[in-house]
Amino acid sequence: MKNIWKKVEKSKTTYIALISIILVFILPILIKLFHLGRTSRIIWLFFVINIFFAGFIGWFTRKYGLSFYNLFIFPIIFVISVFAKYGRYGYFLTGIYLLLSILIYFLFEKEK
């Protein structure tokens, strides 16, 4: 069991997945506790935090030489969330997050 946990700790892909799950499922609940209006929550979650995170994933994936497929983790988790509880506009945001991650991924050179 310890060996499995050490592999999970070293896996940067696992970190991307865990942060994605927190941003997509837990953060909306926390932001709702601040009693912000629906429009403010959508702006902060979908257009500020998630767009920043999508760019971060592109940079992180390139910096650490991770597989290109890591760029798809966040958008896939977001699509699952959109399917469960948000409107159709979420599907368009998924494409934006993926394109931004890919753009940032190719914008930065791999560090040596």
In-domain check, residue 112: no
Q: Fill in the amino acid letter for 92.
A: F
In-domain check, residue 6: no
Residue 85 structural domain: 13-107
Give the orientation angle of helix 73-85 with respect to helix 12-21, to 10 degrees. Answer: 20
In-domain check, residue 3: no
In-domain check, residue 7: no
In-domain check, residue 26: yes
Say what the pTM is: 0.84
User: pLDDT per residue over 23-67, tens digit each?
Assistant: 999 988 888 888 888 888 888 888 999 999 999 999 999 998 899
In-domain check, residue 1: no
Q: Total domain count for the chain?
A: 1
Distance CA 5, CA 11 (A): 10
In-domain check, residue 56: yes
Mean of the pLDDT values across residues 80-89?
A: 80
Q: What phi and psi values does residue 35 have, to the nearest 5 degrees?
A: 55, 40
In-domain check, residue 97: yes
